[in-house]
Amino acid sequence: MHCPTCGNPATHEQQFCRSCGMSLEPVGKLVARHSSSPAEVQKRIDRAEAEKIIVSRMFNWIMWGMLIMGIGIVMVMVNKSFDIGRWFKLLSSCVALGGAGIAAAGVLNSMRQGVQLSGRRSPIEIAPTLEPATLTEGKTLPTNEFPDAPPSITERTTKLISRGESATDKRR
């Protein structure tokens, strides 16, 4: 895919052109719609529905966790007002912490399902396969996808600073 404004190459995942800054999201959707087979379109629709289900479950877990945590907090407040006993204080603290744990479990579970849905491996799965010597045996890291990418904005400033430092070093 190419940017319709400046003609520079871009990927379907890019939201903005790296050269001119044009929004590429609608262009990417049009290209994907017209270049995809019906099976690929159905796969994207299924994936979007699966993502909606995952998000819905996550919010349900968070809602139940917050409700349980609220009950625990109310129990703590009641115990402070009426001094029911130490066992009630312990129980109310456990209920509040349990609610926070349920909400956190819902978020973490949805993150795990999202990683599985994307088809990517999690860092835990990748770590055992990496050997310490793989990056030191002359292998290079992957290069930038766009070799003609514009230089960094601060590159010129860095060069000027290094030139200025060398001039001050000579004066000493």
Residues above pLDDT 90, as percent of the chain: 33
**27 lies in the same domain as 54:** no
State which of 123, 144, 162 marks the end of a domain. Answer: 123
Give the domain range for residue 113. Answer: 47-123
How many CB atoms sit inside 10 A of residue 96's CB?
19
Q: How many domains does the chain have?
A: 2
Q: What is the pLDDT of residues 84-129, one digit of tens each?
A: 989 999 999 999 999 999 999 999 999 999 888 877 665 566 556 5
DSSP assignment, residue 127? Answer: G
**24 lies in the same domain as 70:** no
One-character DSSP codes across 92-142: HHHHHHHHHHHHHHHHHHHHHHHHHHHTPPPHHHHGGG--TTTTTSSPPPP
pTM > 0.75:
no
